[in-house]
Amino acid sequence: MGVAGLTFEDNINRKIEFVNRSLCEYFTKEENYQKKIYEAMEYSLFSGGKRVRPVLALAAAELFGQEESVMPFACALEMIHTYSLIHDDLPCMDNDELRRGRLTNHIVFGEAMAVLAGDALLTRAFEVVLKHSRLSPQQMIKGLAVLAEAAGTEGMIGGQVIDMECEGRAVGKDVLRAMHLHKTGALIIAAVRLGVIAGNGDSEDDWRLSAYARNLGLAFQIKDDILDVEGNTELLGKKTGMDEENRKTTFVSLYGLEQSKKMLEEYTQKAIEQIMFYGEKSEFLKEYAYFLLKRDN
């Protein structure tokens, strides 16, 4: 999987295709009494996600010449991300009917099946790693621990709980930051850490890449908040203005639009600084930070 000479565009498209191909390969399904659950899982897993987390895992591993070996973990991250979206969209949570321009899982398959499809994708994430990873048992265990912690109550789920607890309350800057560092940040940080583990990087690498991802994760969320105000519904695949309608505290509501845009630039810049150490090899991670900054969906 040489990447020399590829433009950024070609490289990212190649990575996304590689991820999609691997997801297809790992996502085995059965023709049995419970086949409906596979349809529901598949529907959301292959609905045109940006594959941010797997792409970051691949890019981090690539720093150590190890892109391919992180793939089962990369796909596991995408499955966990997808399950969290399915559960987030449920009527008792955000009650969303549209996601990426398509009907949400529970609208198509019903609430009960959507709950189970989410549960199943979370479970399948671990199954995929255990079945397909060719890393050493020690690396696998280290990676699984990173994955589980990032998905759990001190990671992504913790962020969702903070989000819920904040509903209808005045939220301070510290809480907003903590929420997003957990809700979006945890899996993004896990992605690059898994790349370091697959690449046998050391604790300095882990530190640098984690710092990159922490800043990137905040930038990512700020961009999301900006898009909800300034974005194009069609490009986004969902309604804009929802944060204001739901009276959600966002970076834009707390800092204003101009200041938020400045912060977006700053966090992106800070992310990039963390990986300068890797020189030319960090080119993709650098370009990717700008790519996420400029995205329109």
Summarize as ranges the residues that interact with its own copies (CB under 8 A).
Answer: 30, 32-34, 36-38, 41, 83, 87, 90, 92-93, 110-113, 115-116, 118-120, 122-124, 126-127, 130-131, 136-138, 140-141, 144-145, 148-149, 151-154, 157-162, 164-165, 175, 178-179, 182
Distance of CA 289 to the CA centre of its chain: 14
CA–CA gap between residue 62 and residue 195 (Å, rounded):
8
Tell me if residue 120 falls in helix, strand or coil.
helix
**In terms of CB distance, is 136 or 259 closer to its own copies?**
136
Shortest distance (Å) from residue 150 CB to its own copies? 9
205: its two tokens:
């690498």
**In terms of CB distance, is 184 or 274 closer to its own copies?**
184
Location of structure tokens 């790992």 = 26
CA distances from 86 to 199, 210, 212, 245 (A): 31, 27, 28, 21
CA–CA gap between residue 254 and residue 173 (Å, rounded):
7
CA–CA gap between residue 87 and residue 114 (Å, rounded):
7
CA–CA gap between residue 39 and residue 62 (Å, rounded):
33
**In terms of CB distance, is 126 or 290 closer to its own copies?**
126
| Residue 47, amino acid | S
Asked if residues 273 and 219 have their Cβ atoms less than 8 Å apart, the reply is: no
Shortest distance (Å) from residue 243 CB to its own copies? 18
Shortest distance (Å) from residue 31 CB to its own copies? 12
Shortest distance (Å) from residue 210 CB to its own copies? 19
**In terms of CB distance, is 57 or 140 closer to its own copies?**
140
Shortest distance (Å) from residue 218 CB to its own copies? 17
**In terms of CB distance, is 69 or 274 closer to its own copies?**
69
